[in-house]
Chain A
């Protein structure tokens, strides 16, 4: 689980990205904090099944950081951004 400062850092980073792009965005800080917390909680709850879904040899060869990076890239390709 992310610590509270880590979750706040995630919010700040996302706010900076949106500002840099001038993307319309109207979630308040508490609303965005809740979304970040929910995502973090979901990852915590589903990390084991995500890992189990990876085929060998990726499951045992990739580091946790590499798996997270792949997850991010696949999600980004699916949903844009």
Chain B
């Protein structure tokens, strides 16, 4: 049983940026972060292996985010998982499962982070990822508001990610 266990942590330097619409590496007071544009969708990608203590439950992804200029409004974040199962997945094509999303509101004090929580039920939402398998996690700021309200004009910053078994 691994409910509540941390299954992985990602920091900005672990980003494997896609060829286009990638979030940009930056720093804020020497803290590495990934800048996500305020108008156009941008993405970041991280690779890992689901640890052996994973117990088969759903996943909760915590995004630790900040905002360069905004102290009000709402940004919309999406996270998708790609199962990279041996013997099946063709690495030459992307197969990220459907994004799950959540809103994140800027803190009233600029420079204070916000925690965005994105949940996945076990099974299809997490691309049926199983223990010991490699996977990619794609994070997108839905800046054009396709899937949810994102009215923050300026950049959002991603400082860290935790994956927890729900």
Contacts and interface: CB of A to CB of B under 8 A. Distances in A.
Given A26-B73, A28-B73, A15 B151 contact: no
Interface string A45-78: 0000000000000000000000000000000000
B69 A19 contact: yes
Interface residues of B, number: 19
| Chain A residues touching B, range | 10 to 19
A29 to B, nearest CB: 5
B110 interface: yes
A32 interface: yes
B71 interface: yes
B110 A29 contact: no
B39 A29 contact: yes
B153 to A, nearest CB: 5
A62 B38 CA distance: 36
A25 interface: yes
Contacts of A18: 68-69, 153-154
A19 B39 contact: no
A15 B39 contact: yes
A15 B37 contact: yes
Interface in A9-30: 11-12, 14-16, 18-19, 22-30
Given A15-B39, A19-B38, A27 B153 contact: yes
B72 interface: yes
Interface of B: 35, 37-40, 68-73, 110, 145, 150-155
The 7 closest A-B pairs by CB, nearest first: A19-B155, A12-B39, A28-B151, A15-B38, A25-B69, A19-B68, A19-B154
28 contacts: A12-B40, A14-B153, A15-B37, A15-B153, A15-B155, A16-B37, A16-B155, A18-B68, A18-B154, A19-B35, A22-B110, A23-B69, A24-B71, A24-B110, A25-B69, A25-B153, A25-B154, A26-B69, A26-B71, A26-B72, A27-B153, A28-B73, A29-B38, A29-B145, A29-B150, A29-B151, A29-B153, A30-B151
